[in-house]
Amino acid sequence: MRPVTHPTESLGIPGLRPSAPSTLLSLPGGRFRMGSEDSDVNPGDGEGPVREVDVAAFRIDAVTVTNKRFAEFVDATGYVTEAERFGWSFVFEMLVAPEVNETIDQVVAGTPWWLPVHGATWRTPEGPGSGIEDRHNHPVVHVSWHDATAYCGWAGVRLPTEPEWEYAARGGLDQARFPWGDELEPGGRHMCNIWQGDFPTSNTLADGYLGTAPADAFEPNGFGLHNVSGNVWEWTADAFRGSLGGGPAMRGGSYLCHVSYCNRYRVAARTSNTADSSAGNIGFRVAADV
């Protein structure tokens, strides 16, 4: 891990904090059954055992933080993300322009579809020549856990805990696989933005997207949250405990998840990354106390 700290106090502009996002939903909390013991769960992910967990009342955003909202933070504070400081971030190969791809001389062992692209940042998600002009309402990506917590410190919110995230993602359903029920495509309808086709070589775009979808795309769950399955991974406040180590836990899966490779778009699924990691499929959703 590359240790970098960004204390929000050092930005020197506490008076420029915005009001709480209007998209924050108030949830009553309560007891729910967290986790999964399904047969297709990776034992190292630590989803099980299913256990009863109590969650106090809290607020959580209906959508992930968008490019527009993150830009407001950067404009107000001058904050520089870790991807910008390091000079590169990971981009899925199908999203990289040929002229950019030609400049890349290394891939990630075991996952060659991830390319370390110099100049890939939240402003330029696919590297030089790309932009977010037509994606203001898409989730911000290429943000590390440190970046997410810096935003939260400025906005007066916080990252959700894992129990809060899963409680909210379940939308009031008990032990359903997805936020809407147990069937991935009920009645043939696409309910989330995940990989369609054969991963990683062919995407049919049957759900309408190759990369990110707007933060409010698809139907919300029973609590009003959008895209808690697929689209982008979401950082949480908790450390991951399992075979992947103790970095921050991430929830929700992304547009690259597929049953043949990563079926972590289920509401109980989880993974982890180092706190300074960033990629084109990692974003975050905020929460707050009542």
Structural domains of the chain, with CATH: 64-79+137-289 (3.90.1580.10)
Give the pLDDT confidence score for residue 39 in this predicted structure: 86
Task: Check pLDDT > 90 for residue 117.
Answer: yes
Digit-coded pLDDT (tens) for 150-198: 999 999 999 999 999 999 999 999 999 999 999 999 999 999 999 999 9
DSSP class of 122:
S
Nearest to 178 by CA among 126, 234, 228: 228
More confident site: 261 or 58: 58
More confident site: 102 or 154: 154
SS (H, E, C) 201-261: CEECCCCCCCCCCCCCCCCCCCCCCCCCCECCEEEEEEECCCCCCCCEEEECCCCCCECCC
Ranges 13-27, 38-52, 169-183, 226-240: which has the least confidence: 13-27
User: What pLDDT band is residue 4 in, cutting at 50, 70 and 90?
Assistant: very low
Asked if residue 117 lies in contact with residue 89, where contact means CB atoms within 8 angstroms, the answer is yes
Phi, psi of 90 (to 5 degrees): -85, 135
Report the alpha-carbon angle 179-44-237, nearest 5: 60
Give the pLDDT confidence score for residue 183 in this predicted structure: 97
With b for 16 or more beta-carbon neighbours within 10 A and e for fewer, the 132-168 pattern comes to beebebbbbbbbbbbbbbbbbbbbebbbbbbbbbbbb
Torsion angle defined by CA atoms of residues 273, 274, 276 and 277, in that order, rounded to the nearest 10 degrees = -30
Task: Check pLDDT > 50 for residue 133.
Answer: yes
CB neighbour class for 17 (10 Å; exposed up to 12, middle 13-18, buried from 19): middle
Digit-coded pLDDT (tens) for 64-98: 999 999 999 999 999 999 999 999 999 999 999 98
Nearest to 47 by CA among 285, 280, 264, 288: 264
- Paired tokens of 288: 């707050």
Give the pLDDT confidence score for residue 20 in this predicted structure: 65
Ranges 92-106, 157-171, 254-268: which has the least confidence: 92-106
Give the pLDDT confidence score for residue 9 in this predicted structure: 41
Average pLDDT over residues 230-234: 98
Three-state secondary structure call for residue 187: helix
In the block, tokens 């009645």 appear at 187
Task: Check pLDDT > 50 for residue 61.
Answer: yes
Mean pLDDT over all residues of the chain? 91
